[in-house]
Structure formats: C-alpha cells, structure tokens
Amino acid sequence: MKKLVGNVLLTVGLVAGAITAARIPPMWGGLAASLAVMGAGIFLRRQGAKEELHRAAQSGTGGVRELERLLTDALGRIERIMDAPREKAVEELTGILEELDEFAEKAQPLRIEGLMTYGTIMSVFSRGERALNRAWSAFADGYENEGRRYLRYSYDDLKETLSAVKALKV
C-alpha cells in the first residue's frame, strides 16, 4: 500500500512541479511544495519496497531456502548430463534454464542483507547462467566439446553461488 501511495505522490508532485515551473515567472512556492510531495512519495515508495522484500523473505516466496533449492536442483540436473548424449543435454538444459529464470526474481529478498551481498551472489550466478546458455547454444549447434566445456564452467559458477547463498546468516 505504501508503494502505491508513494507512486501516486511521486506522480502528483512531478506533474505539479512541471506545471509550476513552466509558468513565467515560475511559481517558486508551488515548485517547492511539489518537490516536497515528490520527496514524500519517494520515501513511501522505498518503505513499501522494503516491506515487500521482508514479506517475501518471511513467506518463503524468495530468499535463501528457495534459492538453495533451485540451485541444488539445477546442479543435480547438470551433473546428470555431464556425459549425456548431445540431444539429451539440449533437452535437459532447456528445462534447467527455464527453472533458473526464476532465480533473479526469487533473489530480490537478498537485498535486505545489503547490496554488496546481493551483488556478489548475482554476479557469480549471472556468470554461471551465461555459461549455461553458451553450453546450450554450443550443444544445439553441434559443437559438443565446447558445450561440455561451458557446461563445466556453469557448474562451477553455480556451485560457487550455492556456497555463497549457504554462507548467508539468515
């Protein structure tokens, strides 16, 4: 609710500020008031976003437990296709990539822990996801050796991501 009210105040302040500043001479009092309304809107919007993150972390729709489950499942599936035939690898990688699409969304509650923690985890994860996409592409194009090399890279990066997630004290 705070986020919605914050968005409304931000919009009202922006429109009012544009109207008062566009007049000649500018209506300085109105401009100052609209800046104050915008500031209140930004404050409420941020508070609402923080509350959403806390609710998501507490309800289990994101956060450490969910991320551990996603990563553990993906790593297990990658282990099973390390030596699998190319066609099986492409099929399985498609499913793994679809599942990992949720990771970034479910990792949002980690921002509560701080931006450095979130950034560290997401940078390692994104490197692993990129390698997984490259592996899929190489397998799909028939470059099996390159696909296996990138599959190994992604496995190592996702394992590092899982270690970082498990190290969180949540």
Which residues of the chain, if any, have pLDDT below 70?
53-54, 56-63, 111-113, 169-170
CB 48 within 8 A of CB 2: yes
Instruction: Give residue 128's pLDDT.
Output: 93
Instruction: Give residue 56's pLDDT.
Output: 63
CB 7 within 8 A of CB 45: yes
3-state DSSP of the chain? CHHHHHHHHHHHHHHHHHHHHHCCCCCHHHHHHHHHHHHHHHHHHHHHHHHHHHHHHHHCCCCHHHHHHHHHHHHHHHHHHCCCCHHHHHHHHHHHHHHHCCHHHHCHHHHHHCHHHHHHHHHHHHHHHHHHHHHHHHHHHCCHHHHHHHHHHHHHHHHHHHHHHHCCCC
Instruction: Give residue 169's pLDDT.
Output: 60
What is the distance between the alpha carbons of residues 32 and 126, in angstroms, rounded to a whole number?
Answer: 43
Instruction: Give residue 101's pLDDT.
Output: 84
Q: What is the pLDDT of residues 90-138, one digit of tens each?
A: 999 999 998 888 777 777 777 666 778 788 888 899 999 999 999 999 9
Name the amino acid, one letter, at 117: T
Query: Would you list the domain boundaries of the chain?
Result: 1-58, 61-167
Centroid of chain to Cα 127: 13
What is the distance between the alpha carbons of residues 56 and 42, in angstroms, rounded to a whole number?
Answer: 21
Q: What CATH number was assigned to the domain covering residues 61-167?
A: 1.20.120
Instruction: Report CA dihedral (80, 96, 125, 107) to the nearest 10 degrees.
Output: -130
